A = this chain, B = another copy of it.
Amino acid sequence: MPEHGSIAGIRNVTVVGGGVIGASWTALFLARGLSVIVSDPQPGIDEAALGQIAEAAPSLKALGLDTSRLTDRLAFEPDLATAVRAADLVQENGPERLELKHEMWRTIEENAPATALLATSTSGIPATEIATALKDPGRLVVGHPFNPPHLVPLVEVVPGERTSDETVERARAFYRALGKRPQVLRKEVPGFVANRLQSALFRECVHLVSEGVVTMQELDDIVTSSIGQRWAVAGPFRSFHLGGGEGGMPHFMDHFGIGMERRWAAMLQEKVAFDEPTKRLLTEQAKDFGGTVDELAAERDRKQIALMRALGESFAD
């Protein structure tokens, strides 16, 4: 059983919404010794969440955490007002609908301690818009994990227009101490950064498969054997900086900038959409992945844990 402790001053967490993201956050918080109350009005949510926590446990263990008696400090409380009463942190993972978020956050603000850190996992609604429901919008910040939160290190910390510096810093410090790699964004932008980047790349993926240059499986193999490996250890800017040799980024831009601009112009001309022929093609080719979604996900997570351990990004020695 993980030693009961506090992380950056936070001991009691209320996870609002016990779905996929909420349950994954919960598993991580528990394995790090925090007490968690999950609040979700859905009937049967406790069973579903417990199932997911059990599924996450082997990964957390492989990352070096103690997962024995993981659920001893877990409780379920469907009533939101009651659930947040002793929270040091509220991590909200409710449905992505603004009016629902407003309702939840009003209840949270009214009932949580005035010192509680308030974070939303939203991937799509800016903190500025959610915070209009709050008396003190300075308290709310986006803490957007990359799915699943118990495994992938990134948390995008995105302040709204009125989020206080103190809230941002507390969120950053907490996620960092939790073992994540938080990144504070300097501006609110739709989709934040990681999802925008994967959308940009995915457009060209769909184009190349639609054009018959490669299959989905072949394209995936190309990525895992080249840019994926590179970007796991050095991001795109650093990669091109080093691609410029001694001259670094300036040399890269001078020598390859025009060619890349031409490529961009050509890509903008491509028609790419999830139209019926594209959907049929991708649905058909997805059958070639083999294995169930559960099996494939387990394989992916096993490999990612091996990678994280190799890069020193785990809790193991």
CB contact under 8 A between A261 and B233, given known A242-B296, A250-B283: no
Residues 82-95 of A, flagged 1 when their CB comes within 8 A of B and 0 if not, give 00000000000000
Complex: how many Å from CA A258 to CA B279? 12
A309: chain B residues within 8 A (beta carbon): 310
A201: chain B residues within 8 A (beta carbon): 197, 200-201, 236
Whether B311 pairs with A307 at a CB distance below 8 angstroms is yes
Whether B300 pairs with A311 at a CB distance below 8 angstroms is no
Residues 253-280 of A, flagged 1 when their CB comes within 8 A of B and 0 if not, give 1000111110110111000111000010
A198: chain B residues within 8 A (beta carbon): 227, 236, 239
Task: Indicate the size class of the contact surface on chain A.
Answer: 35 or more
Mark A residues whose CB is within 8 Å of B. 20, 124, 146-147, 152-154, 156, 181, 183, 185-187, 189-191, 193-194, 196-205, 208-209, 211-214, 216-246, 248-250, 253, 257-261, 263-264, 266-268, 272-274, 279, 282-283, 285-286, 289, 293, 296-297, 300, 303-304, 306-311
Copies of chain A in the complex: 2
Complex: how many Å from CA A250 to CA B278? 11
Complex: how many Å from CA A220 to CA B194? 10
Q: Most B CB atoms within 10 A — which of A203, A237, A244, A307? A: A237
Whether A274 pairs with B261 at a CB distance below 8 angstroms is yes
Complex: how many Å from CA A154 to CA B197? 22
A279: chain B residues within 8 A (beta carbon): 250, 253, 257
A291–chain B nearest beta-carbon distance, Å: 10
CB closest chain-B residue, reference A189: B213
Whether A219 pairs with B202 at a CB distance below 8 angstroms is no
A304–chain B nearest beta-carbon distance, Å: 5
CB contact under 8 A between A202 and B240, given known A152-B230, A233-B307: yes
Whether B204 pairs with A223 at a CB distance below 8 angstroms is no
21 CB contacts below 8 A, A to B, read: A147-B243, A152-B225, A153-B226, A181-B225, A190-B266, A193-B219, A198-B227, A198-B236, A200-B267, A202-B236, A209-B237, A217-B237, A219-B235, A221-B235, A224-B231, A242-B296, A246-B293, A253-B282, A257-B279, A261-B273, A268-B268
Whether A253 pairs with B274 at a CB distance below 8 angstroms is yes
Complex: how many Å from CA A219 to CA B183? 9
A224: chain B residues within 8 A (beta carbon): 231-235
Whether A197 pairs with B225 at a CB distance below 8 angstroms is no
A110–chain B nearest beta-carbon distance, Å: 32
Q: Most B CB atoms within 10 A — which of A189, A201, A240, A248? A: A201
CB contact under 8 A between A272 and B264, given known A205-B236, A279-B250: yes
